[in-house]
A and B are shown apart, each in its own frame.
Chain A
Amino acid sequence: MTRIPVRKTYKLWIGGAFVRSESGRYDPAQLRRTGAEEPQLVNVPRASRKDVRDAVAAARKAAAPWATRTAYNRGQILYRAAEALESRRDQLAAGAGAAQVDAAVDVLVHYAGWTDKFQAVLGGINPVAAPFLSFSVPEPTGVVGVIAPDEPELLGVVAELAPALAAGDTVVAVLSEAGPLAGLDLAEVLGIADIPAGVVNLLSGRRRELALALGAHRDLNAIVDAAGDAELSAKLDELGAETIKRVRHADPVTGYEDAVALSLERIEALTELKTAWHPVGA
């Protein structure tokens, strides 16, 4: 007798909790499983603007504690995420392909190694012509919105999440609209990687609707737009101007090399350089 499998209910990941969209809406998606010939039809939550607001609120709440963790600790957590993703390699490879999963794991490892180094590279002591110890150090920008491309559906979001987390930012990401399952599975991976609740929030649904809600949110500090949609990019620029958001447009990454080629620049774009002046002597 064949076993009746237990199917998974796909959920959004907001504030550390796996939730359905508050709107109750859903879209169908095709799940490819290892060993199965036919894809299985599954339901994917279609997040609403309210879900975006909840996610930003959760990310804001998580921002200060995440930023004040030690760089070493953030590195360990990113490395743990790589471990957790590797352990789900076979399952994810069935949908996204092994090469993409491998690249995503390696990207996480790459950025895990940046967390305690970019400060020394981007900052330093300023030799000011006055009796002060002046130094500049990059600090997290705050809450970052990520608009992931349709493809690659897993690496595309990981390549933008990882630099933000390395920089000490918290993230609300809009997943691939065409292939949201890998991103929703990623939530389960990150959920067991010691990432504190709210540091990463993952939303599936209609990209334009969610991206515009994110772009218009007044408590979001930066947007990384990797969707490759020129019309949406211009709209995000315009919305971003309202609260002087840092808006970065990036082409969807093509692979590991592409994702790490400008890794320092990706981190730098999501930091704020602070200059402190402390008196020396009187």
Chain B
Amino acid sequence: MTRTSVLWDYAPAPEATDHVRLADRFGLFIDGEFRAPVDGRHVASVNPATEEPLAEVAWAGIEDVSRAVDAARAAQPRWAALPGRDRAKYVFRIARLIQERARELAVVETLDGGKPIRESRDLDVPLAAAHFFHYAGWADKLHQGVAAREVAPLGVVGQIVPWNFPLLMAAWKLAPALACGNTAILKPAETTPLTALLLAEICQEAELPPGVVAVLPGDGATGAALVRSPGIDKLAFTGSTAVGREIQSALAGRSVALTLELGGKSANIVFEDASLDQAVEGIVNGIFFNQGHVCCAGSRLLIQESVLDEVIAKLWRRMQRLRVGDPLDKNTDVGAINSAEQLERIEALVGAGEREGAVRHTIACELPGRGFWFAPTMFTDVAPAHRIAVEEIFGPVVSVLSFRTTAEAIDKANNSRYGLAAGIWTDKGAKAFEVAKALQAGVVWQNTYNHFDPTAAFGGYKESGFGREGGAAGLRPYLRIVR
């Protein structure tokens, strides 16, 4: 007798939002206080799942940027002169306050960005706290972290973060900068400023000295003003390769240190000897995690030909079970696309994929009437030159390609201008190490994907950028080697 598979339907399980105290209006966080912007401009931050405004947020103009830079400049010598153990205590406080306000931060992250509450609750917020906790401990051990070289902070650092992991990327940027004795001006992304502003509140609660951290929401113009500000000593950017290129070019001829964490088109390689069911779970996590809004998403799936049909069938079956919808629902796997603009970009590239002859498979599911949504999609019959195999889509869309030999897998994986991450699925240890070594990618995951840790360096090869975040290597971009 064969067992009939049972499909459950899930009752809605929305996370409550009544414990969240979100102000109606946020100012710019400059010199330890929330202030009105010079030009008085406020823009609503919108919930991408409902298109409803969440709060009015001040956007910083050039004068605001320059005020924040001046305050950071004034605060920097005293911050750097604090004994490391005291700087550490402030950063430890921030870590603890994030833990204390974890539930609130998770809900706001999900409301503002559209990501499933399961992810913001279990990954974004705990990892953000862990990053502050990790780097706090470095503050009094800096020279041991850089091979016993004599070091000094860089000074005032500008930090521009993306909308896909708003709080987590703010933590990746601020934690090492502060531990190293720099003062920082953080510019959150235009669509997701709210958790960065809550983090500014946390800096106040932690009694961080005024000027050590500024938070300046705004769009590309605010970012450009920060990049062009003559008062910064270093700029750290996470975002697209196109904007990274503009920033690198804008800093030409200036002695401003730069680190870039940019785009990717990461290969996820499935060998025939992999545990295929486990691999399918990893493929799903690799590309549908956070709606595919992940710079290291496993968006190029390379499957060995002998198991190609089997893996595609299993993956397609698994994709049908993905629950797309209300990001606040604890059962949701795929939430809302972050913005109308991003949805348009995804649709344009998916359209190009269809026109170029790849075969599109999009799961049938009911999408909410309002908000920005894109159903999980797989492309088969993809040629290596297709745009969907070359360009970053930054959405829940995976392109399937195949290979015969290990050497071909390595060649195909490396045949990209990007080099951020890669996945390897095999149960053969020697093969995994061989392939991991040969891949031009800053992070290589074997039999897992999208795993992050504050102790493990993260960053790209080639046009995926330069500089590392995480671990001792993450101190280096915020320190000058004296000798």
Q: Mark A254-282, 1 if CB is under 8 A from B, else 0.
A: 00000001101100100011111111000
Residues of A within 8 A of B464 (CB): 244
Q: Mark A111-134, 1 if CB is under 8 A from B, else 0.
A: 000000000011010111110101
**Which of B51-59, B95-103, B447-455 contacts its partner?**
B447-455
Beta-carbon nearest neighbor of A123 in chain B: B473
Beta-carbon nearest neighbor of A128 in chain B: B453
Query: Among residues 15 to 66 in chain A, which have CB atoms less than 8 Å away from a CB atom of chain B?
Result: none
Known A-B contacts A275-B442, A275-B456, A277-B448; the reply to A264 vs B147 at CB < 8 A is yes
Q: State whether B147 touches A272 (Cβ < 8 A).
A: no
Q: State whether A275 touches B147 (Cβ < 8 A).
A: no
Complex Cα distance, B252 from A240, in Å, reads 9
Task: Tell yes or no: A204 within 8 A of B by CB.
Answer: no
Most chain B CB neighbours (cut-off 10 Å) among A121, A235, A278: A278
Most chain A CB neighbours (cut-off 10 Å) among B245, B248, B457: B457
Beta-carbon nearest neighbor of A269 in chain B: B466
Q: Looking at the complex, which one of A233, A235, A244, A268 makes contact with B462 (CB distance below 8 Å)?
A: A244
Residues of B within 8 A of A128 (CB): 451, 453, 455-456
Task: Tell yes or no: B377 within 8 A of A by CB.
Answer: no
Q: State whether B245 touches A244 (Cβ < 8 A).
A: yes
Most chain B CB neighbours (cut-off 10 Å) among A141, A234, A237, A272: A272
Complex Cα distance, B331 from A259, in Å, reads 59
Residues of B within 8 A of A141 (CB): 461
Known A-B contacts A237-B253, A262-B481, A278-B432; the reply to A244 vs B465 at CB < 8 A is yes
Q: Looking at the complex, which one of A130, A132, A134, A273 makes contact with B442 (CB distance below 8 Å)?
A: A273
Q: State whether B248 touches A240 (Cβ < 8 A).
A: yes
Known A-B contacts A130-B451, A132-B448; the reply to A241 vs B252 at CB < 8 A is yes
Residues of A within 8 A of B476 (CB): 268
Q: State whether A276 touches B446 (Cβ < 8 A).
A: yes
Q: State whether B483 touches A262 (Cβ < 8 A).
A: yes
Task: Tell yes or no: A238 within 8 A of B by CB.
Answer: yes
Beta-carbon nearest neighbor of A265 in chain B: B481
Complex Cα distance, B471 from A129, in Å, reads 13
Known A-B contacts A237-B251, A237-B252; the reply to A277 vs B446 at CB < 8 A is yes
Q: State whether B459 touches A129 (Cβ < 8 A).
A: no
Beta-carbon nearest neighbor of A236 in chain B: B252
Interface bracket on A? 35 or more
Q: State whether B455 touches A127 (Cβ < 8 A).
A: yes
Q: State whether A241 touches B249 (Cβ < 8 A).
A: yes
Residues of B within 8 A of A230 (CB): 253
Residues of A within 8 A of B228 (CB): none
Task: Tell yes or no: A91 within 8 A of B by CB.
Answer: no
How far, in Å, is B458 (CB) from chain A's closest CB? 7
Residues of B within 8 A of A70 (CB): none
Q: State whether B443 touches A275 (Cβ < 8 A).
A: yes
Q: State whether A237 touches B453 (Cβ < 8 A).
A: no
Most chain B CB neighbours (cut-off 10 Å) among A128, A136, A243, A268: A136
How far, in Å, is B318 (CB) from chain A's closest CB? 19
Task: Tell yes or no: B130 within 8 A of A by CB.
Answer: yes
Known A-B contacts A234-B252, A237-B252, A268-B476; the reply to A243 vs B455 at CB < 8 A is no
Query: Among residues 204 to 239 in chain A, which have CB atoms less than 8 Å away from a CB atom of chain B?
Result: 221, 230, 233-235, 237-238
Task: Tell yes or no: B149 within 8 A of A by CB.
Answer: yes
Q: State whether B248 touches A244 (Cβ < 8 A).
A: yes
How far, in Å, is A208 (CB) from chain B's closest CB? 15
Complex Cα distance, B147 from A262, in Å, reads 12
Residues of A within 8 A of B442 (CB): 272-275
Q: State whether B457 touches A126 (Cβ < 8 A).
A: yes
Task: Tell yes or no: A246 within 8 A of B by CB.
Answer: yes
Q: Looking at the complex, which one of B417, B451, B473 makes contact with A132 (CB distance below 8 Å)?
A: B451
Task: Tell yes or no: A242 within 8 A of B by CB.
Answer: yes
Residues of B within 8 A of A130 (CB): 451, 453
Complex Cα distance, B248 from A275, in Å, reads 25
Q: Mark B363-401, 1 if CB is under 8 A from A, else 0.
A: 000000000000000000000000000000000000000
Q: State whether A126 touches B253 (Cβ < 8 A).
A: no
Q: State whether B444 touches A238 (Cβ < 8 A).
A: no
Task: Tell yes or no: B241 within 8 A of A by CB.
Answer: yes
Complex Cα distance, B411 from A146, in Å, reads 28
Complex Cα distance, B470 from A276, in Å, reads 13
Q: State whether A277 touches B445 (Cβ < 8 A).
A: yes
Q: State whether A277 touches B451 (Cβ < 8 A).
A: yes
Q: State whether B417 touches A243 (Cβ < 8 A).
A: yes
Complex Cα distance, B444 from A10, in Å, reads 46
Residues of A within 8 A of B466 (CB): 244, 246, 272
Known A-B contacts A221-B462, A262-B483; the reply to A277 vs B456 at CB < 8 A is yes
Q: Looking at the complex, which one of A124, A134, A240, A272 makes contact with B461 (CB distance below 8 Å)?
A: A272
Residues of B within 8 A of A279 (CB): 446-448
Residues of B within 8 A of A278 (CB): 429, 432-433, 436, 446-447
How far, in Å, is A281 (CB) from chain B's closest CB? 11
Task: Tell yes or no: B463 within 8 A of A by CB.
Answer: yes
Q: Looking at the complex, which one of B446, B456, B463 makes contact with A136 (CB distance below 8 Å)?
A: B456
Residues of A within 8 A of B473 (CB): 122, 136, 273
Task: Tell yes or no: B441 within 8 A of A by CB.
Answer: yes
Complex Cα distance, B249 from A238, in Å, reads 5
Query: Among residues 398 to 423 in chain B, which have CB atoms less than 8 Å away from a CB atom of chain A?
Result: 417, 419
Task: Tell yes or no: B244 within 8 A of A by CB.
Answer: yes
Complex Cα distance, B454 from A130, in Å, reads 12
How far, in Å, is B355 (CB) from chain A's closest CB? 27
Complex Cα distance, B466 from A124, in Å, reads 19
How far, in Å, is B251 (CB) from chain A's closest CB? 7
Beta-carbon nearest neighbor of A124 in chain B: B472
Task: Tell yes or no: B468 within 8 A of A by CB.
Answer: yes
How far, in Å, is B483 (CB) from chain A's closest CB? 6
4 A-B pairs with the lowest CB-CB distances in the bound complex, closest first:
A234-B253, A237-B252, A241-B248, A241-B249
> Could you show 5 A-B contacts with beta carbons less than 8 Å apart?
A126-B471, A238-B252, A240-B248, A242-B249, A244-B245
Given A126-B470, A134-B453: 12 more A-B contacts, CB < 8 Å: A126-B457, A128-B455, A129-B453, A130-B453, A134-B455, A136-B473, A234-B252, A241-B246, A244-B465, A261-B483, A279-B446, A279-B447
